[in-house]
Structure 1
Amino acid sequence: MSDQLMMSRRGALLAAAISFASTCLPAQALAAAVGRAPVPLPSAAQIRRDYQQMVDFGPRLPGNANHLKFVEWMAQEFQAAGLLLGPCESYAYRRWEPRKWGVEVVDGGRRHAISNVAYFVRSDPTAAEGVSGPLVYGGRLGPKGPENLPDIPAGAILVFDAELPRMALRHIVQPHFIHVRGETDSAVLDTPYHRLWTMPSFQLDALAARGVAGVAIIMDVSSAMIAGNFSPHASPYKPKVPALFVGQDAGAELRMAAQAGKAGHLTLDAAWVDGMVPQLTAILPGESDEVMIVDSHTDGQNFIEENGSITLLQLARHFAGLPAGQRLRRSIVFAGWPGHMSGTMPEAPGWARAHPDLMKRAAAAFTIEHLGASEWLDVPGKGYAATGHNEYMNWPATAGPLNDLVIDGIKRHDLLRHAVQKGPGFTTGTVFHDSGIPHVACISGPSYLLSIVPGGHMDKLDADLAARQTNMIAEMIKAADRIPVSDLKGSDSSLGAKPVTGADTSVRMACSRRA
């Protein structure tokens, strides 16, 4: 196909889906909802059913079969709700796919497996059969590498101790409002905060030149917390040696075996797979040329990563089912972008580059992540367990009316340990605030955020909390629809400080259609 024909086809797809949605007459825009029964905002029971449906697809890592099926299902659900799709885009991506991993102590010819081992994502793999060698204790491993490395025999499996960074929440997010009851701000914000998703990319490349066969890193958290951790999005780093993570309790046996001069066996069978990763846009037309963007990412490991994509569907069904007199004036654009679990894909900025017209006409944007999170930590005397709190939830918001809406919503729904931070904050949606679009986001960071386990951590879902959070988001969107865009922008000096730049790297294609 010629470049000219390809450009013509891309332009036609763009016009067919977006231009129609944004320029149709009000009567045409409302036609999709005629005859549809109103859809209430989800109850706690509905939240649980919807999240379970997502979890049942399996871990949805960027571009894997589960992710592709999930995005196709989302497209069908948007269409069933009466929304217009597309055009749809994809991104080329080379994903790291683990198959088998573990570390064992070899003693008297027998192998004893260490439990709940996780992998260092993108590590250089072993062969399928793994590698054997002497276990050597390497001391402490810092983010930049080993601090004092002993002599290493050829083919050794190094065992290190390492720590998660600990910092008070106040130093991470600096909120200007937090809703608490029965405790103080300091009890929440000044408690040392550590979660596996903050794990540094320990630098290991120098070990490859020393002939190291593999590395096992003992973290200062329990094996139950370390289990299944798939933590790739903080860095694109690719260790040149096979590397695994082990919890502190199970790691004690491994450390003792290394110090006693025993042998070990380490397996990390993984492959690099080339493919395309889909991006999804669905539009509910309104009466105005202005739009409001509601976004999240579609890839994730469990119920918390990323239930924002399910919230997009729940909001789309609700808003599309409103009777004519209650429908929103502005069009709503639901953006499901991929690749948060990649470290290399363009994520929300990629969607923004692919849709410059929608970015120009956006009156507000709402980024949704990680609803319904209960807090689980290593609790003295109990082990890895629920603390009885919900996880801290941060709400970055552009100063002005959106900031006020967030505070009012948190109070009205009595959302404890929920705080508001001046935008753009720490969120995957900062591109909207940075590009001059008034923006609200929500994000929590539980310890199980990135782990892949049977059941997808559904036992840790607080469905009532998720229902209240979803209702609050819907109320904010409805309220923002009635506020002129000039008022939404307010006087926030940081709004539009770093507009999105760069080329659109997506490949456009026809969207999936329900048969």
Structure 2
Amino acid sequence: MSIPSLLSRRAALLAGAFAVAGLSRPGLALGAARANPVPLPSADQIRQDYQQMVDFGPRLPGNANHVKFVDWMKREFVAAGLRLGPCESYAYRRWEPKRWSLDIIDGDQRHAVPTVAYFVRSQPTGPQGVTGPLVYAGRLNPDGPASLPDFPKGSILLFDAELPKMHLRQIVHPHFIHVRGETDADVLDSLYHRLWTMPSFQMDDLAARGVAGVAIIINASSAMIAGNFSPHASPYKPKVPALFIGQDAGDTLRAAAKAGRAAHLTLDAQWVEGDVPQLTAVLPGESEEVMIVDTHTDGQNFIEENGCIALLQLARHFASLPAGQRLRRSIVFAGWPGHMSGDMPEAPGWALAHPDLMKRAAAAFTIEHLGASEWADVPGKGYAATGHNEYMNWPATAGPLNDFVIDGIKRHDLLRHAVEQGPGYTTGRVFHNSGIPHVACIAGPNYLLGIVPNGHMDKLDADLASRQTAMIAEIIKQADRTPMADLKGSDSSLGADPIAGTDSSKRTQCQAS
């Protein structure tokens, strides 16, 4: 279809460049400037928009909720005045849990453990479950048990295990710069990375020895582990059915094992073949250079992944600005899938699918986990709010972007926020590694992966998310005014591990149904 004559000279000049990337008819994405530009979101707007996402339900890769949510995002980008495309999808075989439980059998009676969580992608039992002697087997380490007691075939083994206690010194670059909140010493001595990211306990040898099931007592409360979809990013598929149990149920289970009780374990799940969508939306500017704003579209609750909502809020704002206030560079909004899959290409997959945009990118911004209040197992209170916001890390390429982040944290009065020299701890490290100056943000609350009826909306700090979103918009504007060569600065790690590989995506129709 030819470009209409009414398009501006700017759109006409861009048409050739965007056609190379498969982004046809860029002029249609420009949209007319509105009489009243869309403001950056207030706390009330944040709460409303996040609730709209949560109302779709858990958006696990490729499930019906996820597909509907991505379809809604497409419509929202188009409504804001952006152009979709090219769009892709990935073939994916997803693990879909249906019912899970653990009962202690005492004679003719069964006593249910009130709260259990599943080990993602472990072997299903079928709806009937499995019954066997409950045997306490000691401690389970990530590489498996060091030793095992004698047990009959068909037993359900009970283990103790610990969440990984990753001190901040282990998750940040040596050039970690603490900016606002406690002193460096206080942060480094007292805060831990509390992301519910279970190690992939190796248990295949247990299946070979005839174990019917595994129950793992974790050093966290039942309230904390409720509904957790974990380990979320591991491709490991245990050959035995496995459940996680809160530490408050540990004594009861150990006593039952010591008393020779049996247990009934159910993990009814199925494997489903399907496709997972990936989307790209573009707001053209005056330059062939682009800036990429990205996150993953799959998630469980308000925080996983509210970066999607931030992408829409930024798109609505930037697309509505009058001509004199618009960004010079084009903005590419990328929503890639599969962070909860364990074996999908994620952000590197998007990069491989869009080599031309990667070549023309002056900067990239990966947004994750805004508005996180801190919750913990508090002595005397149980699982409760601590009164703080969750620590947030900002990996940034050394140079102007790093400076913009430090200034923004101070200007927006963001406490317990810190800067790490890139590439850092982020799903978007492919951009920095491929030579694109990059900023990311990520917090790791322990409710991050929880599938609960209210989507953990009671834990949202909407004012915090509003200020964080405003800061990101500000950094994007500052980066837009900075030449690409200056953004690259002198960071020796920039471009040290460029993306390589084969694009495994397939092109799909972009238009939302």
Q: Where on the TM-score scale, by shorter chain, does this alignment land: which range? A: over 0.9
Answer yes or no: is the 8 Å Cα contact 2:33–2:319 preserved in 1: no
AA of the residue aligned to 1:120: F
Match of 1:267 in 2: 266
Which has the higher mean CA deviation after the structures are superposed, 231-240 or 295-304? Answer: 231-240
Match of 2:10 in 1: none
AA of the residue aligned to 1:296: T
Answer yes or no: is the 8 Å Cα contact 1:100–1:269 preserved in 2: yes
Match of 1:441 in 2: 440
AA of the residue aligned to 1:74: M
Give the share of equivalent positions with the same residue, in percent: 76
Q: Give the direction of change, closer, same or farther, for the CA distance of 1:381–1:31 in structure 2 (3 Å limit).
A: closer
* SS of residue in 2 equivalent to 1:76: helix
Q: Give the direction of change, closer, same or farther, for the CA distance of 1:317–1:60 in structure 2 (3 Å limit).
A: same
Distance 2:136 2:197 in 1: 25
Match of 1:244 in 2: 243
AA of the residue aligned to 1:229: N
Match of 2:176 in 1: 176
Which has the higher mean CA deviation after the structures are superposed, 131-140 or 65-74? Answer: 131-140
* SS of residue in 2 equivalent to 1:171: helix
* SS of residue in 2 equivalent to 1:198: coil
AA of the residue aligned to 1:179: V
Answer yes or no: is the 8 Å Cα contact 2:177–2:419 preserved in 1: yes
Answer yes or no: is the 8 Å Cα contact 1:179–1:411 preserved in 2: yes
Match of 2:294 in 1: 295
Distance 2:330 2:94 in 1: 35
* SS of residue in 2 equivalent to 1:74: helix
Distance 1:165 1:498 in 2: 27
1:129 matched to 2:120? The reply is no
Q: Give the direction of change, closer, same or farther, for the CA distance of 1:70–1:19 in structure 2 (3 Å limit).
A: closer
AA of the residue aligned to 1:225: M
Answer yes or no: is the 8 Å Cα contact 1:315–1:474 preserved in 2: yes
Distance 1:82 1:63 in 2: 27
Distance 1:334 1:313 in 2: 9
Give matches, 1:339-488, under 5 Å.
339-488=338-487
Unmatched runs of 5 consecutive residues or more in structure 2: 1-15
Distance 2:465 2:489 in 1: 30
Q: Give the direction of change, closer, same or farther, for the CA distance of 1:36–1:268 in structure 2 (3 Å limit).
A: farther
**Deviation of 1:18 (Å):** 4.0
Distance 2:274 2:144 in 1: 32
**Deviation of 1:17 (Å):** 7.6
Q: Give the direction of change, closer, same or farther, for the CA distance of 1:16–1:179 in structure 2 (3 Å limit).
A: closer
Distance 2:32 2:232 in 1: 39
Deviations 1:225-280 (A, max 9, x none): 11111024332111000000000002221121111110110000011100000000
Deviations 1:124-164 (A, max 9, x none): 11021101111111111111111221111121111111111
AA of the residue aligned to 1:160: F
Deviations 1:2-42 (A, max 9, x none): xxxxxxxxxx9x84984446xx6xxx478512446410000
* SS of residue in 2 equivalent to 1:197: coil
Answer yes or no: is the 8 Å Cα contact 1:401–1:490 preserved in 2: yes
Distance 1:176 1:139 in 2: 38
* SS of residue in 2 equivalent to 1:364: strand
Q: Give the direction of change, closer, same or farther, for the CA distance of 1:127–1:176 in structure 2 (3 Å limit).
A: closer
**Deviation of 1:90 (Å):** 0.1
Q: Give the direction of change, closer, same or farther, for the CA distance of 1:508–1:137 in structure 2 (3 Å limit).
A: same
**Deviation of 1:513 (Å):** 3.5
Q: Give the direction of change, closer, same or farther, for the CA distance of 1:319–1:240 in structure 2 (3 Å limit).
A: same
Q: Give the direction of change, closer, same or farther, for the CA distance of 1:58–1:457 in structure 2 (3 Å limit).
A: same
Answer yes or no: is the 8 Å Cα contact 1:375–1:391 preserved in 2: yes
Match of 1:231 in 2: 230
Which has the higher mean CA deviation after the structures are superposed, 504-513 or 81-90? Answer: 504-513
Distance 2:202 2:249 in 1: 23
Distance 1:351 1:104 in 2: 44
Match of 1:4 in 2: none
Distance 1:461 1:324 in 2: 35
Distance 1:285 1:29 in 2: 10
Q: Give the direction of change, closer, same or farther, for the CA distance of 1:30–1:310 in structure 2 (3 Å limit).
A: closer
Answer yes or no: is the 8 Å Cα contact 1:29–1:285 preserved in 2: no
Distance 1:69 1:19 in 2: 23
Match of 1:94 in 2: 93
Deviations 1:191-238 (A, max 9, x none): 252535332111111111111110000001111111111024332111
AA of the residue aligned to 1:169: L
Match of 1:7 in 2: none
* SS of residue in 2 equivalent to 1:148: coil
Distance 1:251 1:272 in 2: 31
* SS of residue in 2 equivalent to 1:261: coil
Deviations 1:406-434 (A, max 9, x none): 00000000111100000000100000001
Distance 2:23 2:126 in 1: 52
Answer yes or no: is the 8 Å Cα contact 1:30–1:286 preserved in 2: no
Match of 2:321 in 1: 322
Match of 2:218 in 1: 219
Q: Give the direction of change, closer, same or farther, for the CA distance of 1:369–1:322 in structure 2 (3 Å limit).
A: same
AA of the residue aligned to 1:317: R
Answer yes or no: is the 8 Å Cα contact 2:88–2:278 preserved in 1: yes
**Deviation of 1:180 (Å):** 3.1
* SS of residue in 2 equivalent to 1:48: helix
**Deviation of 1:166 (Å):** 1.5
Which has the higher mean CA deviation after the structures are superposed, 150-159 or 57-66? Answer: 150-159
Distance 1:142 1:368 in 2: 33
Match of 1:39 in 2: 38
**Deviation of 1:478 (Å):** 0.6
Q: Give the direction of change, closer, same or farther, for the CA distance of 1:17–1:510 in structure 2 (3 Å limit).
A: farther
Distance 1:262 1:388 in 2: 42
Give the number of aligned pairs. Answer: 496
Unmatched runs of 5 consecutive residues or more in structure 1: 1-11
Answer yes or no: is the 8 Å Cα contact 1:302–1:457 preserved in 2: yes
TM-score for the superposition, normalised by structure 2? 0.94
TM-score for the superposition, normalised by structure 1? 0.94
- Backbone CA RMSD of aligned residues: 1.6
Distance 2:382 2:178 in 1: 29
Answer yes or no: is the 8 Å Cα contact 2:46–2:466 preserved in 1: yes
Distance 2:258 2:35 in 1: 69
Answer yes or no: is the 8 Å Cα contact 1:301–1:452 preserved in 2: yes
Answer yes or no: is the 8 Å Cα contact 2:394–2:441 preserved in 1: yes
* SS of residue in 2 equivalent to 1:106: strand
Match of 1:165 in 2: 164
Distance 2:42 2:497 in 1: 39
